[in-house]
Structure 1
Amino acid sequence: MTEKEKELLHLLEKEGRISTEKIAMMLDESEEKISELIASLEKQRVILGYSAVVDWSKVNTTESVTAMIDVKVTPKRGVGFDEVAERIYRFKEVRALYLMSGTYDLSVVIEGKTMSEIAHFVSDKLSALDSVLSTTTHFQLKKYKHDGIVFEDHDEDHRIVVSP
């Protein structure tokens, strides 16, 4: 991977909507070259997709519950954690899945409409898998920062100025 490709990836990761014209100026390359690099990185599956970070708490019509579930599993001979991870990430509720070091093996992020829906997912789907030994569920109460983006609006400071 070239340094230009790495720079391009950092720019796109920070701002997926940045124009090829602006990227070309920033990297001192032609727009055509930047378009080719992006297409190549997408074809190689280095760039997997583009997404917006949405503060769903500001959208009145949508309420959901997010949970992080720590999962202890028995790895299978020859495939390790990959087979059970694949079975888990195929569930529609799963938003993210990570192999972790420490007490638990996998960290699963799921989303549901209610806490009860998440409880049913854990008991009926996740815990029912042969390799799953135990789970610990943590419910997200408030989102402060995600993917480097702060969710709080701190435009005004309402404190009273105190001076000697």
Structure 2
Amino acid sequence: MDERDLELLTLIEKQGRLETSQLAKMMDMKEDEIALRMRRLEEQKVILGYSALIDWKKTPEKERVTASIDVKVTPTRGRGFDAVAERIYRFKEVKALYLMSGTYDLAVVIEGATMAEIANFVSDKLSTLDSVISTTTHFQLKQYKHDGMIFVDDDDQDPRMVVSP
């Protein structure tokens, strides 16, 4: 991997919809060279996929409930936290999973249709794993920024009256 690969990765991370022709112009390279680099980076699993960041509250789709769960676990002999993490990230509800420093070992981000669905996931699936010692669940109330994108509209006005002393 060279500096051009890193530059390409930075561009598509910020603007994943850029076409090969646009990337070629921005990087002063040929389109076929850009396509070749991207294909190689995909094969090497450096580029894992492409996704759009959606503000679901602006769609007719019902909003989803998102929760972050702090999990304290007993690591597995010989595999550490990896074996436990593998069991957890295989659940379809899990959107992200991180090994953390501090009081808790793992941070799990999940989505569900309701708070009850998330509660059932924690009580029926997550906390029943042998290596899970404890969990703390935090429900996301409002999203302001995600992956560098701001979700608050500038035209959103606070309807509360200003009160000053």
Counterpart position of 2:99: 99
**Residue aligning to 1:51:** 51
Q: Which deviates more, 61-70 or 44-53?
A: 61-70
Q: Distance in 2 between matches of 1:131 and 1:156?
A: 45
SS of residue matched to 2:10? helix
Partner residue in 1 for 2:136 = 136
User: Using a 3 Å threshold, how does the CA distance of structure 1 residues 116 and 155 change in structure 2: closer, same or farther?
Assistant: closer
RMSD (Å) for aligned C-alpha atoms: 1.4
Could you say if the C-alpha distance between residues 156 and 109 of structure 1 is closer, same or farther in structure 2, counting changes exceeding 3 Å? closer
- TM-score relative to the length of structure 1: 0.93
Name the amino acid aligned to 1:130. D
1:71-110 equivalences in 2 (<5 Å): 71-110=71-110
- Equivalent in the alignment of 1:161: none
Q: Does 1:42 align with 2:23?
A: no
Secondary structure of 2:7's partner?
helix
Q: Normalising by structure 2, what TM-score?
A: 0.93
Runs of 4+ in 1 over 6 A off after TM superposition: none
Q: 3-state DSSP class of the match of 1:92?
A: coil
Deviation string 1:100-138 (CA, Å, 9 cap, x unpaired) is 011100000000111111111001100000000000000
Letter aligned with residue 45 of structure 2: R
5 Å matches for 1:9-20?
9-20=9-20
1:19-43 per-residue CA deviation (whole Å, 9 max, x = no partner) reads: 1111111111100100000000000
Same amino acid, percent of matched pairs:
66
**Aligned pairs, number:** 158
Instruction: Flag structure 1 segments of 5+ consecutive residues without an equivalent.
Output: 159-164
Distance of aligned partners of 1:157 and 1:114 in 2 relative to their CA distance in 1, 3 Å threshold: closer
Tell me, in whole angstroms, the C-alpha distance in 2 between the residues paired with 1:148 and 1:9.
16
User: Could you tell me how far apart the structure 1 residues matched to 2:155 and 2:2 are?
Assistant: 40
Distance in 1, matches of 2:156 and 2:98, equals 38
Q: What corresponds to 2:152 in structure 1?
A: 152
Deviation at 1:61, TM superposition (A): 2.6
The residue type equivalent to 2:112 in the other structure is: G
User: Kindly tell me: are residues 156 and 142 of structure 1, through their superposed partners in 2, closer, same or farther at Cα, counting changes over 3 Å?
Assistant: closer
Q: Which residue of 2 aligns with 1:4?
A: 4
1:45 is paired with a residue whose SS is coil
Equivalent-residue separation in structure 2 for 1:80 and 1:90 (angstroms): 17
Cα distance in 1, alignment partners of residues 38 and 114 from structure 2 = 39
